[in-house]
Amino acid sequence: MNLKISNLFSIKGKVCVITGGSGGIGSALSNHIYNNGGVSIVIDKVLPKNNIKKKVQFYKCDLSNTEDCVLILNKIKKKYKKIDCLINSVGVSDENSFINNININFISVYNFTKKIIEIMKKKGGSIINITSLNSELGFSNNVGYVSSKGALKMLTKSLCVDYAKYNIRVNNLGPGYIKTKMTNRKYLKPLERNKRLNRIPLGRYGKPEELFGAVVFLISNASSYVTGQDIYVDGGFLAKGI
């Protein structure tokens, strides 16, 4: 078999829905998908950043609003007849509310993903759940976030088993410490920043765009036999011991 890299990793024409696509990671992924020939459809409560407004289709929606989600997905289905990829980038880190983390990071993602799956059943597709180092490790003072990401990790594995028969692949992409608005509060505190940097073999925080290589792999045919997996882009954080 003669495989060409340019075809194997192509995302040209792929219809991609990105929940939380206005955030630091989501907006970067939406932008790069568009720039590489894909269709970026952002679903978020917040308008996208100025630099990607003209590049993406944006639907303002709270994922907990089932009726609005159904209306939006019907519009997408009518226009494109398919959805090739779902990237669940939506997420909060709320140290003051356990249930808010669970509702947004896990329950709303599950409910929305199930609706996407019904559209994907006809032609297959790729679902990428953005998890975290917190789906593998316990971190202090944020039990809701840690719990929600651990639950999301295992949701992926369950969905993988249930929907592989429809050629729907479901994988986790776990960022390490990526420089975004969410991580900036502790990054600006030298003690907190250095604690994290000391655990990262590459010695720096990652950039949102550094997740794109893994995303291209998971969207494209290059990962056609990959499902139920955890892929971490963390600068080596998980590999480091004492």
Alpha-carbon distances of 109 from 38, 87, 131, 155, 240, rounded to whole Å: 22, 10, 11, 10, 31
With beta carbons less than 8 A apart as the criterion, state whether 104 and 92 touch: yes
| Catalytic residue from among 34, 80, 145, 205 | 145
β-pairing verdict for 125-130 and 85-88: parallel
Active site residue 145: yes
- In whole angstroms, give the CA distance from residue 72 to residue 212: 26
For 76, list phi and psi in degrees, rounded to 5: -65, -45
With beta carbons less than 8 A apart as the criterion, state whether 92 and 106 touch: no
Q: Is 231 helix (H, G, I), strand (E, B) or coil?
A: strand
With beta carbons less than 8 A apart as the criterion, state whether 194 and 203 touch: no
- Active-site residue list: 145
